[in-house]
Amino acid sequence: MILVATSLHGFAIPMMNAHLQAIWQGLVPAELQGRVFAARRVIAQCSAPFGNLVGGALGGVGSASSIVVAVGGLLVLAAAMQLFNRTLLDMEEAIGEPTSRA
């Protein structure tokens, strides 16, 4: 079951990243994109060890399967909450006209 869920998650990541990248490119002026995308990457890569630390601490508290189920439930809850996020739902209006690429 975990293998199936992990595989589905792995297949969904490129689709999520493509949409997120398009949104950021539409919001960030062309002259700042290098700095903004570099900062995003640094933050993302620096957060990975924190996730490992928290996962290790949680692993010491409960069984691996209970931790996976609990974290999966939290992810589903967080995703479901975004269905009611007005900012996210109105993203196309927030982006407006694309920035120039000149």
What confidence tens digit (pLDDT) does each residue in 17-66 have?
A: 888 888 888 888 999 999 999 999 999 899 889 888 888 888 888 888 88
CA distance linking residue 40 with residue 17, whole number of Å = 13
Q: What is the pLDDT of residue 98?
A: 56
- The overall average pLDDT reported for the chain is 84
Q: What is the pLDDT of residue 97?
A: 61
What would the two tokens of residue 87 be? 């900012």
- The pTM (predicted TM-score) of the whole model is 0.59
Give the pLDDT band of residue 91 (cuts 50, 70, 90).
confident
Cα distances (Å, whole numbers) of residue 93 to 20, 21, 43, 83, 97? 15, 17, 27, 17, 9
Q: Which residue's structure tokens are 């439930």?
A: 73
